[in-house]
Amino acid sequence: MATTPESFVDALNAAFGKQTTQRSAHAKGVVLLGKFVPSAEAASVSKALHFKHEVPVTVRFSANTGMAKIADVDPQAAPRGLAIRFRLPDGSDTDLVTHSYDGFPAKNPEEFQQFFLALAGSKPGVPSPTPVEAFQETHPAAKAFMTTRDPPPVSYATTTYFGVNSFKFVNEKGAVTIGRYQLIPDAGRHFLSKDEIATAAANYLEDEIRQRVAHGAVRFQVVLQLAAPGDKIDDPSVAWASTNKITALGTLTVASVVADSEATERALMFLPALLPAGIEPADEMIQFRNKTYPVSYERRHQS
């Protein structure tokens, strides 16, 4: 079966339930405001405006799946999401979509759709091996994605986020850099203990981030992991080595929760390929994801 943006969102809806007003993936979330301040070296990487100027940002933290009521400690709620909209000085926007796992369960759109269809066919009561168990046995990246999980984080502010897609960065001189984003928390990486998991409230992450920013801003270091010779540029299911060179791009500061998070996030649509001059997609998954988000957006605005 051919993979189209519509068929892919169909697969997400089959896995997580029919869409009404929720997103087809990362349905549960909270929206905050802040700023991005570029590093001294950012402009040498790309001529993008936010690599030259401090800009305001809108940020959405989220849980995995299309289930808006999923408990934060549910294993399916991982990986967490962090999406950023940079408001550029010329009035345009650019988006960055990341999650808290260094990798993807599939290398291309076709495989990604098969993964969600396998999930959809593996509802409780389906005998083992379920379709998703069978899929994992022939797709090691999907198996790693499903089985390599950190415990639930103490906070949205205490986990690292990865932009698993590769981008091409071009500076004013035309020099090209290939890299993947990482967002590293100033607060460090901290996770719940088994006892804390057992007693955590269903929505503890939103409650915690509201309380945390009320007492002071949250910060992440935005860095670029540079491609090394031989790295797979167009396969987001393959993580690059931790020894790859890292370049600092700037500091993301998250300072406040928006007044009406629910209404704001309903209106928001982050687009992975909404990119300024100086940044281009370097793998096909970015463009495909960019086409699926509007399909999901339309479905959740039909009711």
Task: Please give the tally of structural domains in the chain.
Answer: 1
Q: Give DSSP secondary structure letters for 137-170.
A: HH-HHHHHHHH--PPPBS-GGGS-EE--S-EEEE
Nearest-angstrom CA–CA distance, 2 and 212: 45
- Residue 233 belongs to domain spanning: 5-300
Nearest-angstrom CA–CA distance, 289 and 291: 5
Residue 303 has pLDDT above 70, yes or no: no
Residue 302 confidence (pLDDT): 85
Residue 1 has pLDDT above 80, yes or no: no
Give the pLDDT mean for 267-296: 96
Secondary element (H or E) of residue 247? strand 246-257
For 119-158, the pLDDT digits (tens) are 999 999 999 999 999 999 999 999 999 998 899 999 999 9
- 205 within 8 A of 61, measured Cβ to Cβ: yes
- 248, 198, 204: which is closest to 42 by C-alpha? 248
DSSP letter at 44 equals H
- How large is the greatest C-alpha to C-alpha distance in the chain, in angstroms? 59
DSSP letter at 241 equals P
For 27-45, the pLDDT digits (tens) are 999 999 999 999 999 999 9
For tokens 């897609």, the residue is 165
- The average confidence (pLDDT) of the chain is 96
CATH assignment of the domain containing 24 = 2.40.180.10
For 216-239, the pLDDT digits (tens) are 999 999 999 999 999 999 999 999
- 5 within 8 A of 109, measured Cβ to Cβ: no
> pTM of the entire structure?
0.96
